[in-house]
Amino acid sequence: MVNYIDANFDEIANGEFYLYEGNPVIKAFGVTPIVADPSVITPNDSHDGKWHLFCHGLLGIYSFVSEDGINWQREQRVVPCAMRPDCKYIDGVYYMYYERTENLLKKAIALVNGKWKSKIYLVTSKDLKTWSEPELIIDDTRPYMSGKMGTSISNPFLTGENGNYRLYFSAGLTYIKDCYFSEPTHIAYAESENLEGPFTPIEKPIISPDENSKYLNLCSGCIKVYKLNDSYIALQNGIYKDGNKSHSTIMLLKSEDGIKFDFVKEFLTPAVTKGKNKNWMKQYVYACNLVKYNGAFRLYFNARNTSDNIRGREHIGILMQKV
């Protein structure tokens, strides 16, 4: 099963975790001030017995490779005009779902005063070197996907098995005033009998902003859903306002069916850490990917130091389980 983890809920909810002291493990590079939204494949689930990570910068989605899941080497840009990847290795094929955006110039205009436009696409590969042509997976067919800021379908995340697949995604845009950019408003899902679609999105979101919620009073961010032995869990980073500033915290949620989720606790919150990069996750912790390897969990995530759109930087780090 895609995104099945051989564990019980209490192992994660009551586990002891710590921030890897060498964070961030992947820093923004080149002209891009961000690397974000890590999607990780462990050696047990790769074709070559190595760690693989996919994330995005301003110019598209990039691939990284590692022998230990900590020290990463950048390989190639996989897809241009793309962000927020979710890559899975299934029956000898890598399936990468992602948010396809417009080119950099149009993207910049949209961020300032234009209309954003993005949808979910898929590319596949057998060797992580040669990739297929992009295929449209989720189109803007529901009202909650669009608004005054434009159309956004983002943050895909696949679960399911044997002709019963569910692709969770974020939809819509909410402008975050102190950041001068938008974040996803709602969370929904689409279903299909085929990994290559078509995926049919549900009529209404399963999670939307709630002004009375501490963690969702601005917008919903993104969600990553996993099937355990005794339940489903989700890791969601809601966007919220605390005073005059916005923040993002990763929450642990629990569900019996993968549709209705209940808040359990904060899982990872913004913090000032030790070392020269102490402020790297000071204001936001964002999208994440939970993996289990050699009996221990690791949470890969990206974080941002400040809402200031000039000084703001996003890097990738790891939360490790104590064993």
- What is the pLDDT, as a whole number, of residue 105? 59
| CATH for 289 | 2.115.10.20
- For the chain, what is the domain count? 1
Inform me whether the pLDDT recorded for 113 exceeds 70: no
Q: Confirm whether 62 is domain-assigned.
A: yes
Q: Which residue has the tokens 């790891």?
A: 318
Three-state DSSP state, 11: helix
**Domain limits at 184?**
9-321
How far apart, in whole angstroms, are the C-alpha atoms of residue 292 and residue 26?
Answer: 20
39 neighbors 128 (Cβ within 8 angstroms): no
- What is the pLDDT, as a whole number, of residue 107? 60
Residue 246: closest CA among 180, 188, 299: 180
Least confident segment among 51-55, 129-133, 220-224, 309-313: 309-313
Residues 8-33: tens digit of each pLDDT? 999 999 999 999 999 999 999 988 89
Report the predicted TM-score, pTM, of the whole model to 2 decimal places: 0.96
Q: In this predicted model, which residue has the larger pLDDT, 5 or 274? A: 5
Residues 271-288: tens digit of each pLDDT? 999 888 999 999 999 999
- What is the pLDDT, as a whole number, of residue 276? 85
29 neighbors 55 (Cβ within 8 angstroms): no
How far apart, in whole angstroms, are the C-alpha atoms of residue 26 and residue 237?
Answer: 20
Average pLDDT over residues 297-319: 96
Q: Which residue has the tokens 């017995």?
A: 49
How far, rounded to the nearest angstrom, does the alpha carbon of residue 155 sit from its chain's CA centroid?
6
How far apart, in whole angstroms, are the C-alpha atoms of residue 131 and residue 110?
Answer: 28
Query: Token pair of 48, please?
Result: 């070559």
Q: Confirm whether 2 is domain-assigned.
A: no
How far apart, in whole angstroms, are the C-alpha atoms of residue 261 and residue 281?
Answer: 26
Q: Between the CA of residue 37 and those of 143, 192, 245, 314, what are the distances in Å? A: 25, 24, 22, 10
Residues 124-181: tens digit of each pLDDT? 999 999 999 999 999 999 999 999 889 999 999 999 998 999 999 999 999 999 998 9
For residue 261, the one-letter residue type is: F
pLDDT, the chain, mean: 95
Q: Confirm whether 182 is domain-assigned.
A: yes
Query: Token pair of 95, please?
Result: 């399936």
Q: Confirm whether 3 is domain-assigned.
A: no
- What is the pLDDT, as a whole number, of residue 106? 63
Q: Confirm whether 1 is domain-assigned.
A: no
Paired with 273 in beta bridges are: none
DSSP string, 74-127: EEEEEESSEEEEEEEEETTEEEEEEEE---HHHHHHHHHTS-EE-EEEEEEESS
Inform me whether the pLDDT recorded for 266 exceeds 90: yes
Q: Which residue has the tokens 């790297």?
A: 280
Q: Write the CB contacts of 128 (distance below 8 Å, at least 6 apart in sequence).
A: 47, 52, 63, 75, 94
Q: In this predicted model, which residue has the larger pLDDT, 270 or 107? A: 270
Average pLDDT over residues 87-99: 98
Q: Confirm whether 297 is domain-assigned.
A: yes
